[in-house]
Amino acid sequence: MPRHDGRVDRNQGEIATVWERCGFWVLDLHKAAATFSFVRRGELVHGGISDLLVWMGPVGAFVEVKAEGGRLEDTEEQFLSECAEHGVWGFIEFTIEDALRDALWLRERGLAAQRGMRG
């Protein structure tokens, strides 16, 4: 089982701030990886949950933060694949520019969904 070393990428705070400034509720899930598990294709996977959960109205997404040059661990890749298979958005972000692009894209979907809900 992979061990979560507890280190937070130094750009995580900046990326979380971008999402917050775009109007999202941001939950830091980084420490949850130490005890998190999920079932993927009938097998239990330990760890892998993304660093952040962002939410605005009817839309939310998981955000995996990586330092520039970083790469996904196998369990992180499996978690994001599982999200995609269930229609849940997941983003991998290395820079604040990535975060801004993704936050604006998801915010537009949330605002469109809210307009649709109003009739």
pLDDT in tens, 24-39: 999 999 888 889 999 9
Q: Identify the three-state secondary structure at position 111.
A: helix
Does residue 67 form part of some domain?
A: yes
Confidence of residue 6 (pLDDT cuts 50, 70, 90): low
According to DSSP, residue 104 is labeled H
Does residue 103 form part of some domain?
A: yes
Beta carbons of 59 and 89 less than 8 angstroms apart: yes
Does residue 7 form part of some domain?
A: no
Range of the domain at 111: 12-117
Beta carbons of 102 and 108 less than 8 angstroms apart: no
Q: Residue 59 is part of a domain; what is its CATH number?
A: 3.40.1350.10
Q: What is the mean pLDDT of residues 91-96?
A: 97
39 DSSP β-pair partners: 44
